[in-house]
Structure 1
């Protein structure tokens, strides 16, 4: 039985109960009203009888004709009988029981006897007197007054008047006796009426109370049953929200609660299947990743899992390009109709539509897919054909028909990676709200998976880069001289610091023969292993071609011809070669696009830049390098450096500059070369403060003894 029907039955039962209670109450109330009316009528009867008694008392002295007195007397009798008859006909007398009916009959019998024995004889005697002419004799001054005023000749009236007086006296006495009996009956009637009314009020009160209590009982039982079933439903939902799917909701009531319990159990089962499908989706994605597939293959696996765990007929994965301007189709499963207008020539076949999607990227913000990606909000159209944007997909039976579509953006940290679009092309079968919710859950996990794969790829690349940097750093360390050779007449100090793990700077100090020392300082373009390999090539070639017979410019010319066309066009190096003759103090300098040699002449007390023209090595094979020579004297200073040193920046963006370097050296020219290098290091660190180095720094300082 339905709850509404049950409630209707309860309402009807309660209504019938109230109707019965009200009917009974109205019956008793009506009876009480009738009893009260009966009391009122009894009072009227007593009043009428009192009027009759009064007229009987005043009969002899009333100033009226004898016929008028009879008529008044008769009217009062008729009035009493009329009131008494109404009292007799009252239903209340019957309500009060048989005893009262018997008493009433006895009173009525007494009245009838009074009429028969006293009233009627008196009326008959009056009629006789009127016929005998006594009315004219008595006149209208009253019977007794007329009798007193009659002359002796008319004393023949005395006997009739005395007889009439006797009739009146007998009637008066009988009326008094009847009145006493009637009053006694009326008083008993009034007392019993009061008892009846009191009992009736008790009965009505009991009926009202019992009806009210029964109504409360029925309502309480009904409410307790309903609340008990609601409690079961609430308890089941609470258990479900805690993740416990083991308990079913069992209600055997034959109404909506039983149906609700069945629907709940069905929903719980479906929800468990959906949760299981989410787990299955995650496992499938995890398996695909564990196979070591690339991003595109992983996206295909993700799409396949979407299709498998939903009721979609087809789907596609679209990813945003690096510029965040266009969306490319990456993966397909089944035939995916274009959910937007395309040129007519591409709409004819499934292959042409697929070809169009693959070859024509979608602009971000355009079409239903681009708008979903731009806004980051999923799109769910249960009946796609009703949407104006998909009007071209509304024709049933066509290859473009889409009944239902869902677009789920792949979002991670508020960044939209792309979207998964799923369609139902079967007629009259749409995605459900729960399916769309599951799709969004799948999308969140898929986005996290894709982001993890991106991060993993970046981590692998970073690890590979770090490995290359370690290799390059090891190569570079092996290239640098382990020990600076001793030079007669000179002392040499070196400072080098890399801006990052791998430095692009390289220097070398080695002997050409027992009297000559070569100083090479180099800045290689590029980083990592390629730059380190170029350093290896430069060092190897320089060491191989260096000889006492070759000057600084010769070394650069041979090196340049050896490197050009053997390295990439984006690889080159700036460097300079300085050769010091320990015997003569002669210094030869040749430059290949590097910073000039700073020469401090002690006699002049100032720095002079020494430079030669020349492109970096590896750029132009026909480049010819030249040299410049100076004669080194005692306390003269030579400074070789890479551009990272003067380009060191302070916290306010100022550059360290060559001028500052020269002033610092001049201010400390009397100190040893080791001390000068230390002072320069400290000054640079103080200048840059907490700022990181922008470029690598290398400094070689030579001081003549």
Structure 2
């Protein structure tokens, strides 16, 4: 019989190794690293011959993470995963069986029944509303089973693995959501700046690939005279293929156009509606493009993998289809307006609205020097800037950009101006609170495709601070007298698109001679004849070249450098710049 001191020492060593293992899991930086850590640590510390850990996404009914253990074949289809979850929920969280062959596992391929006959432990746990983790570990034939301590170790490792994997998966989901929003935002910006239908549809179909991968895609437009959907923009099909035109109700896309509903086909070989245009296609999804309740086209994508698309992919494709619908309607409305010669008057009215909302003069604040520059585009856009003097020691300064052009942009800008001034005139409100209010108002009074970027900051000369909030706007530059440059990016997302968006304040200290330059994207995104954009780096260098000059000279120098770079040509976007310099 072992001395109790020896047993305790052995137990202490084991649990120290457990702590080291948990630390390794927590520190894992990717799926492969975490998978290897879970499997190696679980086998080593549990004493098992084989184990398999995996995570089930209860929303999509899919296995979204797994270790590489070879003794367990995981379910393939959503139906099998759903059956597995139902079975697991009928089991205790920890189940010990004397012989792994006695485990009534609901899968066709079982856990090593032809290899292992030893004791096995099944542990499963619902981590949160979305993820459910499972660990199955088995001893080799003839080996001693799990003693109470080894069982406790195995469960502890499995539970911690579940939380480590969940953190990783939620990070991936958040990152993917950000990629999706960024792609949609960029598409929205391009739609607002171009009325060339072909250009915008090509942008949309290419941007979709980053969020919903496909092997072939086509955007159809409805031809009412022919009662058919006609190919407009295409990717991934043979160049020798004739134009793809489908009658209403013909094929997957024609059926989506006829019913006005999205269609997901997991396996095209089993769907009689499928019309083959490329031999490699295994699955397909079609989403109608709508203008109100009217179908104006269809967005169709195909994949060389069966069961490639689910409800989440459908929602994303519907979002892109909505953007395509906007582009189509914008282009058609633009053509109609041109033909009826009403557009010039619309732009004139929009310009009057915009000019009426901009400040007529730069305020005078002792201790600050201010200069502004604003140049509208050929077709009225939605740049916005303002100054709000609170006292002889505090000044609010704002710059924003409304998506779109013409009357819609001008009206959105008017809503932005009104909601901004409703709270910004009160110094007691922090910039983040004011922008949060603007977001609520724009979300309520504008359509989903109307939004804005907005930067608002307050200079406090008593405390030598600049407190600000940046809602998706190009970050202003704080160029210190020392030569250091700081990007003012703290804040949140764009205003007007997300009902529950949250915003935070940033704070920087200002010394005598420091210069803050606020600007709109028209300044940095304007390109020259070589298709090079002016960019933030050139803006920063232009400011540094005349940092010690008066603000009017800084403004004039930056604009001169900008004009020299971009060359001739008209303005296709508003350009705004505000220079704020702290004087001694």
TM-score range, shorter chain: 0.3 to 0.5
Task: Provide the TM-score with structure 1 as the length reference.
Answer: 0.35
Higher relative contact order (CA 8 A, sep 6+): 2
Structure 1 or 2: more helix by fraction? 1
Structure 1 or 2: more strand by fraction? 2
Task: Provide the TM-score with structure 2 as the length reference.
Answer: 0.42
Query: Which structure would you say has the larger Rg?
Result: 1
